[in-house]
Amino acid sequence: MRSLEIEAKTVTEAIEQALEKLKVSREEIDIQVLSEAKMGLFGREGGKRAKIRVTLKKKET
């Protein structure tokens, strides 16, 4: 099974990047959120990026 970990500013952005990279639709993957994005002090840089793991679903034959 093929899986991929992606980091981005938001979970949504990470999902979009994964879909583009794998060239699949949202229905063809399982998504596990490993960590949510967190802003730095007073909303500045230095916060934590969102991280997800995307796994391709098995195709039924």
SS3 15: helix
Domains contained in the chain, CATH given: 3-56 (3.30.30)
- Tell me the per-residue pLDDT of 27-60, one tens digit each, with 9 for 90 and over: 999 999 999 988 776 666 667 899 999 999 987 6
Region 13-29: mean pLDDT is: 95
C-alpha 26/C-alpha 18 separation (Å) is: 10
> What local confidence, expressed as pLDDT, does residue 10 receive?
92
- pTM score, whole prediction: 0.80
In the structure, what pLDDT confidence band is assigned to residue 1 with cuts at 50, 70 and 90? low
Answer yes or no: are the C-beta atoms of 22 and 59 closer than 8 Å.
no
Residue 21, pLDDT > 70, answer yes
The closest alpha carbon to 22, from 59, 61, 60, 55, belongs to: 55
